[in-house]
Amino acid sequence: MAFPLQGEDTCQHLLPTPLPNPYWVGFESNLAKELGITVDASGLPQDPRWLEVLSGIALETHEHTFADPIATVYSGHQFGIWAGQLGDGRAILLGDLRGYELQLKGSGITRYSRMGDGRAVLRSSIREFLCSEAMHALGVPTSRALAVTGSKKSVLRESLETAAVCTRLAPSFIRVGHFEHFAAARSTEHLTTMADYLLTHHYPECQGTDDPYLALFAAISERTAKLVAHWQAIGFCHGVLNSDNISILGLTIDYGPFGFLDRFQMDHICNHSDGQGRYAYQRQPQIMHWNMACLAGAMLPLIETRYGSELAQEHLQKTLEEFPEIYRAAWLKHFRTKLGLLTPNPDDTSLVESLLQLMHHNRVDFTNTFRALSHFDASHDARSNPLRDQFLNRDAFDTWMQSYVARLKEEKCSHAERQSHMLATNPKFVLRNYLAQIAIEKAQNDDFSEVKRLLAVLQDPFSEQPGLEEYAAPPPAALEHIEVSCSS
């Protein structure tokens, strides 16, 4: 088992609670093949026992046995407040497969379920499934999703819904919250075991350094800074950046009330439960920095043993202070490529920021604006660019375009070369909430075809995919304000 900790105070060994009479809602056959699962012509596993395994009914297929499923304990800060003990309340770690841990999310009550029913509803399972694979195709570090199985078993949220299980995968599901838990429990032994495990298996580059634990913290913080820069660059809002939802590997995990920006708003809040906008789009970098401060506090006992308390704090603080700089550099790199600026220029930050301001004030579609800019040929008159009509303030758009065109003239590459970079970084297709909603509503009526179709579109986000333009369209007015919340 990849989870490194043993003992009653770290995890519970248990069996998933079977999902009654399950059926396939979605299955990702490319990932399945990568895992060595034989897939038939319909794209489903040849061995029917996979349906049972991924619904929590059985632990064995022809080729694999998952002998020791567990749920793990962690703690965390929720919306900035220490929440104490949490844990895998509805996700059960089945075991390992080809370098991944397999988790069944929604597979029943565990010791850590608190008041919850251990289940996940169909809509949130489909959203996690689609978004994990969409993010992967966009090149964003993320947990993966292999399948969703559904059932007629009813579960109560705001109304009666049906249960589902999402199978998700990551090289490790260790979270910032795991460190926080064992720091709060004053268990330096468990902290050490976890850090040593991470050094061996996931951060080997830190092992030969002067202080591997400090290097480990720096590496986690760096990955996290780069991750959030990538989110900003594709207009992704996570929705619940509580420290228990932050991967120790710098992956996007725990997809809940996330959202891709349609009309761009810096202060967009995607989670209906986040009244104060703590996790609004423009706050994400700050919040991830804050989460790294939580991690630094939790890792302090590891660093203290070598340096003593005061010096250890100083070292951690110094490393933590590097976060904004790493973030800024990664952010600028993304946005330079998004604008086709291949030779760095010191004025690029203000060019990007003024564009984002303009997009914000004109409420233009985030994804489509960058995609349209990718098609813009600087040798043509910018005033005839159809993108111009998306901006209410055309004068402001013209002014920005003038400086953009002037900047492009400094570039040595050809239009074609620039365009190929831009089209490979500015997606045409992202998982807009309304697209997910359409697939969900069909699935709620037992038609899973749209889940499959949408998944296929999202798996190739940078291609034109002629004939599928409708999937690149901004939401129709009636579907512009779909509310998603922590209820899942």
Q: Is 105 annotated as a binding residue?
A: yes
Closest CA to 220 of 232, 206, 230, 208: 206
**Minimal distance, residue 436 CB to ligand AMP, in Å:** 17
Structure tokens at 139: 């090149």
CA gap 195, 218 in Å, rounded: 13
Asked if residue 128 binds ligand AMP (CB under 6 A), the reply is: no
User: Which residue blocks in 377-423 are alpha helix, DSSP H?
Assistant: 394-409, 415-423
Is 142 near Mg ion (CB under 5 A)?
A: no
Catalytically annotated residues: 244
Is the Cβ of residue 256 or residue 259 nearer to ligand AMP in the bound state?
256
**Smallest separation, CB 125 to Mg ion (Å):** 14
Residue 86 interacting with ligand AMP (CB under 6 A) = yes
Candidates 16, 45, 118, 461; binder of ligand AMP (CB under 6 A) is 118
How many of the chain's residues bind ligand AMP (CB under 6 A)? 16
Closest approach of Cβ 229 to ligand AMP, in Å? 23
421 binds ligand AMP (CB under 6 A): no
- Phi first, then psi, for residue 449 (nearest 5°) are -65, -35
Residue 365 is assigned to a ligand binding site: no
Beta strands in 246-316 (DSSP E): 259-260
Min separation Cβ 94 and Mg ion, Å: 18
257 binds ligand AMP (CB under 6 A): no
Binding of Mg ion by 172 (CB under 5 A): no
Note whether 486 binds ligand AMP by CB under 6 A: yes
Containing 170, the helix (H) or strand (E) segment is strand 160-170
87 lies in the site for ligand AMP, by CB under 6 A: yes
Picking from 473, 266, 464, the residue whose alpha carbon sits closest to that of residue 390 is: 473
* Cβ at position 116, least distance to ligand AMP in Å: 2
Whole-angstrom CA distances from 195 to 3, 18, 190 are 12, 34, 9
Asked whether residue 118 is marked as a ligand-binding residue, the answer is yes
Indicate whether 68 belongs to the interface with ligand AMP (CB under 6 A): no
Residue 168 is assigned to a ligand binding site: yes
60: β partners: 65
Q: Which does 163 bind (CB under 5 to 8 A by kind): ligand AMP, Mg ion, none?
A: none
87 a known binding residue?
yes
- Using CA atoms, how far residue 392 sits from 359, 364, 389, 417, in Å, is 10, 9, 7, 31
Count of beta carbons in the 10 Å neighbourhood of residue 200 = 11
53 binds, among ligand AMP, Mg ion, none (CB under 5 to 8 A by kind): none
Is 88 annotated in some ligand binding site? no
Q: Is the Cα dihedral 369, 372, 373, 378 positive or negative?
A: negative
Site for Mg ion in 189-248 (CB under 5 A): 245
Residues sharing a CB contact under 8 Å with residue 100, sequence separation 6 or more, in sequence order: 35, 144, 169, 170, 171
- Please return the burial class of 344, using the count of CB atoms within 10 Å of its CB with bins 0-12, 13-18 and 19+: exposed
Could you give the angle at the alpha carbon of 315 between the alpha carbons of 313 and 320, nearest 5°? 90
Q: How far apart are CA 88 and CA 112, in angstroms?
A: 6
Whole-number Å distance between alpha carbons of 252 and 237? 11
Q: Cβ 424 to ligand AMP, closest distance in Å?
A: 33
Among 16, 53, 77, 88, binds ligand AMP (CB under 6 A): 88
Residue 89 labelled as part of a binding site: yes
Task: Check residue 254 for interaction with Mg ion (CB under 5 A).
Answer: yes
Residue 43 corresponds to which amino acid?
G
Q: Residue 90 binds what, of Mg ion, ligand AMP, none (CB under 5 to 8 Å, by partner type)?
A: ligand AMP
Contacting positions for Mg ion (CB under 5 A): 245, 254
The binding site comprises 87, 89-90, 105, 117-118, 168, 175, 245, 254
The binding site for ATP comprises 87, 89-90, 105, 117-118, 168, 175, 254
Contacting positions for ligand AMP (CB under 6 A): 86-90, 112-113, 116-119, 240, 245, 254, 256, 486
